[in-house]
A and B are shown apart, each in its own frame.
Chain A
Amino acid sequence: MIERDTVVRRLTTVFQQTFDDPSLELHDAMTAADVDDWDSLQHIVLVLAVEREFRIRLNPAEVGKLENVGRMIELLQAKAA
């Protein structure tokens, strides 16, 4: 299992690049409502960027479950090597 801090750092970069906002910071309770442009369309872009960064493939059910940042970090800690 990789360090939570490492996941957060890498995930922050993914968020900043996907939403084109270098000042974006993550917190566990963060959801789509907290980020401009995080709609269902951009969610898929985000998921693909996460898959690329962490070299994993998520199944359709997992894609739907990633609605908040805390859950996303948990899942990535569990799945990423």
Chain B
Amino acid sequence: MSLNARSGVAFEETLSRARTAVTGEDARAALAALFASVTPDSDFVDQARAARALKRIDVGALGLRPLRIALVAGSTLEHFAPVLRLWLARMGFGAEVVLTPFDTAVQSVLDPSSALRRSRPDIVWLFSTYRDLALEVHPGTGLAEVQRRVGDAIAARQALWTRLLDHLGCMVIDNLVDVPAEDPFGNLSGSAPWGLRAMLRRYNADLAAAAPSAVALFDLDHVASLWGRRRWEDARYWFHSKHAFALDATGSVAHAAARLIAGARGLAKKCLVLDLDNTLWGGVIGDDGLAGIALGHGEAGEAFVALHRFVKALRDRGVILAICSKNDRDTAMSVFREHPDSVLRLEDFAVFVANWRNKADNIREIAATLNIGLDSLVFVDDNPMERDIVRRHLPEVEVIDLPEDPSGYVAALARPRWFEAVAFSSEDRERGRHYADNAQRAAYREDFVDLGAYLRGLDMLGTLGGVDSFYRPRMAQLINKSNQFHLTGTRYSEAELTALAATPDCFVRHLRLADRFGDNGLISCVVLRRRERALHVDTWVMSCRVLGRTVEEFIANDMRAVALAQGCDRLVGRYVQSPKNGLVADLYERLGFARSAGSEAGSEWTFDLDAARSGWTSWVRDAANNEGLPR
């Protein structure tokens, strides 16, 4: 997606293309044309028209993920809702956006028959602005009183969160509020503790510290500052119709929020694929040599060092890095090994592809090597031709356009916000290393002809656990991010997991796995429900990193143990087809379950525990008992 503003004429043309495509019933082409016609920066008239055009597209035919969001606000969001739906469609959601009047929020949450409760939202977004807080105090008010007022405002938010989490068990979004541009005290409003700007900043900082991991905070103030704080509030439409921000900022707010929601629901991008020559350094390494490329000191090289730092920071927060370059491999690698000013080192990259084949094929291979979908990739290249080839052949891959001047590279990478996350876990920190370890494991695997010998040699140790405060965030993250190894496509928030764990006849399990190459971290989650004498597998997700290592069998054994302890006579598994989970379509069959019901889209599988006297063969050792491995 390009962020360049489009002229009015071009907008008409693309929008009419979108319309034609809908009547041709080619919904996917219609959606693509629609998003070629509008950017987050487009004004409100264009946003509204694009949102209207979206209504004419058969969203069901696109396989978009259903998502219900309830907006609870003290200002008018009726014009925002359809535009939010538009940008959520861009991120892969077929969203339904419901509005609830702010004044009725608490009653709506408490009353089981309220529209809010009945709509069973996946997300409740408390869209607060500075106006909702009424934090103003008399000039000169003392610090203790200021702190008390801010503390009270935070406590009121916490009370609302608790109610929502307890009663709806859904994800909650609240806003870090916008700080207004104008104020009668001017500079003093920010420098005196009693100033409104100072109090709002204190509120935002304290709110961030008070929010539990089940509450995501949307930084509305940051969006306001990026958009332009002087224009952010349009007093005319506040007076006329209680719009809390300028209608022309609608696209920016909706786009930023849709990115955050995508991150929370597992649709953020996972991997950044980078070109080398004139992208990560100036010049051509094969021609100019190590000493000749622009990287490091001097006006030509500084921009590339800044890009290295930005990319390194992405890697440190869990984004996988890959190289895709037309180059000689050893020559290309020498920069990361030997160049004194290269911030990025060879071990930062999970995959390093440098050859002379076309980049579309290479990127396909990178996705396959990493075991992630093409739609998890973002591609960066200075060469417009290469970008075009990738766009044409791999429409699932997001391609970032770089400006001519390398000084603009960092902004070009940052602006589309492809890698938004609601939280940062220790797993994120370790992810880059996991993938690098995997490359080593693959190399090790080539030494073995006998798979059993390879797996035994891996010396895998599995640690089982349930829902606790330490592992709960990662469990929710895995359930919400996994698409490929996910049998039923269910999504559970942290609050829902806690509730499930407390439900009788319901069992929530996780598995951590270590091997001789390193710690893989928490790699699988299972939700089991007992109904009479059958133990049903409600949810089963696993990281694809550990596929084909008999971890599935290890987990099946754990399910069997739970079932036997509960006096069950059978395990019942379900497979619900999604665009991405073809990988596990035959999982139950492979595990020896018998198909008991179902169609193409979904099937049910039963394993008779009485008939089978033993469990499955796995090379994973259970950390909880010292039994040896199978012979």
Contacts and interface: CB of A to CB of B under 8 A. Distances in A.
B78 interface: yes
Given A44-B247, A45-B79, A48-B247, A63 B48 contact: no
B78 A60 contact: no
A52 interface: yes
Nearest to A13: B12
A49 interface: yes
B237 interface: yes
Nearest to A41: B78
A59 interface: yes
Closest 10 CB pairs of A and B: A60-B240, A49-B45, A45-B48, A60-B239, A41-B78, A60-B236, A48-B45, A63-B240, A52-B45, A48-B44
A17 B79 contact: no
B472 to A, nearest CB: 41
A41 B79 contact: yes
Interface residues of B, number: 15
Majority secondary structure, A binding face: helix
Interface in B233-265: 236-237, 239-241, 247
B131 interface: no
A20 interface: yes
Contacts of B167: none
Interface residues of A, number: 15
Interface string B37-51: 000000111001100
B247 to A, nearest CB: 6
A18 B48 CA distance: 8
B52 interface: yes
5 contacts: A44-B237, A48-B48, A52-B45, A58-B236, A63-B240
Contacts of A48: 43-45, 48, 247
A41 B237 CA distance: 12
A58 B247 CA distance: 14
Interface of A: 17-18, 20, 41, 44-45, 48-49, 52, 57-60, 63-64
Given A45-B45, A48-B44, A63-B236, 14 more contacts: A18-B45, A18-B48, A20-B52, A41-B78, A41-B79, A44-B237, A44-B241, A44-B247, A45-B79, A48-B43, A48-B247, A60-B236, A60-B240, A64-B240
A59 B79 contact: no
Contacts of A52: 43, 45
A59 B239 CA distance: 10
A59 B236 contact: yes
B49 A17 contact: yes
A9 B44 CA distance: 22
Contacts of B43: 48, 52
A49 B11 CA distance: 14
Interface in B65-99: 78-79
A21 to B, nearest CB: 11
B501 to A, nearest CB: 43
Contacts of A45: 44-45, 48, 79
A18 B247 CA distance: 15
A59 B247 CA distance: 15
Contacts of A49: 45
Contacts of B49: 17-18, 20
A79 to B, nearest CB: 15
A30 to B, nearest CB: 20
Interface string B17-48: 00000000000000000000000000111001
Nearest to A43: B241
A57 B247 CA distance: 13
Contacts of B48: 18, 45, 48
A49 B46 CA distance: 9
A14 to B, nearest CB: 9
B631 to A, nearest CB: 71
Contacts of A58: 236
* Interface-central residue, B48, B53, B79, B237, by most chain A CB under 10 Å: B48
A59 B48 CA distance: 21
B7 to A, nearest CB: 13
A8 to B, nearest CB: 20
Contacts of B237: 44, 60
Nearest to A49: B45
Contact of B79 (A44, A60, A64): A44
A63 B53 CA distance: 25
Contacts of B53: 20
A44 B239 CA distance: 13
Contacts of B78: 41
B18 to A, nearest CB: 12
B287 to A, nearest CB: 50
Nearest to B12: A17
Contacts of A41: 78-79
Interface in B244-294: 247
A60 B240 CA distance: 5
Nearest to B8: A52
Contacts of B239: 60
A3 B477 CA distance: 62
B44, B79, B236, most chain A CB atoms within 10 A = B236
A58 B234 CA distance: 12
Contacts of B52: 20
A44 B247 CA distance: 10
A4 to B, nearest CB: 24
A45 B240 CA distance: 13
B192 to A, nearest CB: 33
Nearest to A17: B49
Nearest to B235: A60
Contacts of A63: 236, 240
A59 B44 CA distance: 18
A18 B49 CA distance: 7
